[in-house]
């Protein structure tokens, strides 16, 4: 009879061991510790092989600068009032950032599904929003590191002037471009069943959209039909807006208001894409089956 009150207390309230009753959540808000842990895990994963994930992509992107500067920059050719190397450098920086953001975000879930370790992402006490934030944040971190490596290397490149005309545009479009490709990469890894599927998206969607987005030219040189197609490409606004931050000019429009509209539009696109990805994660599609 003396044990009866203790039994009632363990069922209806906190037990003597300090654990909450079954079914009662322990983490009531954001699991900051879990979010930080997953973020650091993903950052350390790519940083342990930084030669492959940061420096190699930076060198590959620099080769584009070498090739196109030699091939198209002869004779003092100018675009938007600057020499060709200065024109193309900002586009190459943000293109490298976006491609590596996609590569990082599209790897973890897919490798987990292929190796049978996807439970390591699904079992911890993390909500879908926290999982999304950690994965996208880690991919954006890699993108920023690649961008900084490219920026530092291009500062030493002869004839390239990377003075900042509008720093806010460099920061905003760099982050929005990285977030855009990070979320797309996460969606890709959820959909893909093998690495070939992910490679197909990279080779047939991401790479063409990057290269045909005004990185190496201004769209005013294109026929009206192809100008319209370019303006339907979100990569065009990211690259042109990022270039505007360096040169103070872009082919988005003739006024700063046009660039601001593109900046707001990219923020809304990323918000919508993040909501879609959150709902997909919450449904468990291709993850919990």
Give the integer Cα–Cα distance in Å for 176 and 201. Answer: 20
Per-residue pLDDT of the chain (289 residues; tens, 9 = 90+): 445 444 444 444 445 556 667 656 566 688 899 999 999 999 999 999 999 999 999 999 999 888 877 776 565 678 888 888 899 999 999 999 999 999 999 998 888 888 888 888 888 889 999 999 999 999 999 999 999 999 999 988 888 899 999 999 999 999 999 999 999 999 999 999 888 998 999 999 999 998 888 888 889 888 899 889 999 999 999 999 999 999 998 888 767 889 999 999 999 999 999 999 999 999 989 887 6
Residue 208 domain-assigned (yes or no):
yes
C-alpha to C-alpha distance for 277 and 105, rounded to whole angstroms: 12
With respect to residue 11, please indicate whether it lies within any of the assigned structural domains: no
Per the DSSP assignment, residues forming a β-bridge with 82 are 79
CA diameter of the chain: 99
| pLDDT at site 172 | 97
- Is residue 1 in a domain? no
Q: Which residues have a Cβ under 8 Å from the Cβ of 236 and sit 6 or more positions away? A: 213, 214, 219, 230, 252
- DSSP-derived 3-state class of residue 135: helix
Q: Judge whether 233 lies within some domain.
A: yes
Integer Cα distance of 128 and 31 in angstroms: 11
Asked whether residue 165 is domain-assigned, the answer is yes
Contacts of 58 (CB under 8 A, 6+ apart): 96, 146, 149, 150, 153
| Helical residues (DSSP H) of the chain, grouped into ranges | 4-12, 32-47, 50, 56-72, 84-105, 108-115, 119-122, 128-155, 167-191, 195-201, 207-211, 224-231, 234-247, 256-283
Q: Per the domain annotation, does 169 fall within a domain? A: yes
The number of residues in the chain equals: 289
d(CA 234, CA 106): 19
**Look-up: residue for tokens 């760099």?**
174
Per-residue model confidence (pLDDT) at position 108: 83
Within a domain: residue 177? Answer: yes
Residue 12 lies in a domain: no
This prediction's pTM:
0.87
Which of 245, 246, 94 has the alpha carbon at shortest distance from 160? Answer: 246
| Residues in a beta bridge with 79 | 82
Question: Which bin fits 185, alpha (ψ -120 to 50), beta or left (φ > 0)?
Answer: alpha
pLDDT of residue 8: 43
In 3-state terms, what secondary structure has residue 15? coil
| HSE, side-chain direction, 13 A CA sphere, residue 185 | 30
Tokens of 194: 């093998």
Distance in angstroms (rounded) separating the CA atoms of residues 289 and 273: 23
Q: What is the domain range of residue 216?
A: 21-283
**Helix, strand or coil, per DSSP, at residue 285:** coil
Q: What crossing angle do the helices spanning 167-191 and 234-247 adopt, rounded to 10°?
A: 160
pLDDT at site 23: 54
Task: Name the domain count of the chain.
Answer: 1
């Amino acid at each position: 009879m003396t044990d009866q009150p203790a039994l009632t207390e363990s069922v209806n309230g906190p037990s003597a061991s300090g654990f909450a009753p079954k079914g009662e959540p322990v983490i009531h808000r954001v699991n900051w510790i879990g979010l930080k842990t997953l973020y650091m895990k993903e950052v350390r994963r790519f940083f342990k092989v930084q030669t492959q994930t940061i420096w190699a992509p930076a060198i590959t992107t620099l080769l584009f600068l070498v090739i196109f500067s030699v091939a198209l920059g002869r004779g003092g050719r100018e675009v938007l009032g600057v020499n060709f190397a200065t024109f193309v450098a900002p586009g190459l920086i943000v293109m490298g950032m976006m491609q590596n953001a996609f590569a990082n975000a599209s790897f973890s879930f897919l490798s987990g599904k292929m190796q049978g370790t996807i439970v390591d992402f699904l079992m911890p006490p993390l909500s879908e929003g926290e999982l999304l934030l950690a994965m996208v944040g880690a991919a954006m971190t890699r993108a920023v590191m690649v961008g900084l490596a490219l920026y530092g290397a291009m500062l030493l490149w002869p004839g390239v002037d990377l003075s900042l005309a509008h720093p806010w545009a460099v920061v905003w479009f760099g982050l929005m471009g990285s977030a855009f490709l990070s979320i797309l990469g996460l969606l890709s890894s959820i959909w893909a069943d093998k690495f070939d599927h992910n490679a197909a998206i990279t080779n047939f969607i991401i790479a063409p959209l990057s290269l045909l987005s005004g990185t190496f030219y201004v769209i005013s040189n294109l026929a009206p039909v192809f100008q319209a197609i370019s303006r339907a490409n979100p990569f065009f606004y990211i690259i042109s807006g990022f270039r505007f931050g360096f040169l103070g000019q872009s082919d988005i429009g003739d006024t700063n208001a046009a660039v601001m509209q593109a900046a707001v539009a990219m923020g809304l696109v990323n918000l919508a894409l993040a909501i879609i990805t959150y709902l997909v994660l919450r449904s468990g599609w291709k993850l919990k089956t």
